[in-house]
Amino acid sequence: MNVKGVKRTIMFVRAYLRASTQEQNAERARQSLIEFATSHNLVIAKFYVENESGAKLDRPKLNELLDDCQQGDILLIEDIDRLSRLNGADWETLRNRIKSKQIRIVALNVPTTHNQANAGNDEITNRILSAVNDMLIEILASVARRDYEQRRLRQKQGIELAKAKGVYKGKQPNTKRYTAILAMLDSGATYQKIIDTLQVGTATIKNAKKWREGDA
């Protein structure tokens, strides 16, 4: 419980893992986050894992994480694009929500944010680091959004070109991946073993089984 006027000294580390589609493995970076936390003498209080687009503001697990966070907690992510591929207005909404609780964003791919994991920094150091990190995160969030928009544009252009040539067939199953999944299933591998080995999600394994049965 927070008492007014008393500085909170305990901070929790909350790890956020996201993949865009059900066929992608949102758990892929879990071990990297655990190793980072261990190397900085931190313990991850909870993992928040979901398969949702980073261009979507309303994400159930992200909302849960932000609701759970208390003043000064750490939001641990692999990459800024796991947190946001949002447009400008939505990113501002998310950023303000994060700042309202003074949540510290620590991203594995942004080394300057790693110092945010050190609760022993003095106030001046924290302010300087916060200013630097805010600037870098702002830039990287913009880059993530631009990358998202460019990929969507290239995809749209490719589809339109294929349609014009009469060769567009819609989204096709990844038969090579499905074959590898089925081979592991036939050898007796568990879902978790397949997920860890092939870096796929549970939905992809199920789709591979449907594909073999002729339903996909």
Q: Count, in order, helices (H) and strands (E) of the chain.
A: 8, 4
**Alpha-carbon gap, residue 111 to 133, rounded angstroms:** 10
Respond yes or no: is residue 20 known to be catalytic: yes
Does residue 186 sit in helix, strand or coil?
helix
**Alpha-carbon gap, residue 129 to 112, rounded angstroms:** 8
Do 83 and 48 contact (CB within 8 A), yes or no? no
Do 114 and 121 contact (CB within 8 A), yes or no? no
Amino acid at 108: L
Q: Which residues contact 112 (CB under 8 A, 6 or more apart)?
A: 129, 132, 133, 136
Q: Please state at what angle helix 175-186 crosses helix 191-198, rounded to 10 degrees.
A: 140
Alpha carbon of 135 to those of 101, 138, 203: distances in Å? 18, 5, 37
- Report the catalytic residues: 20
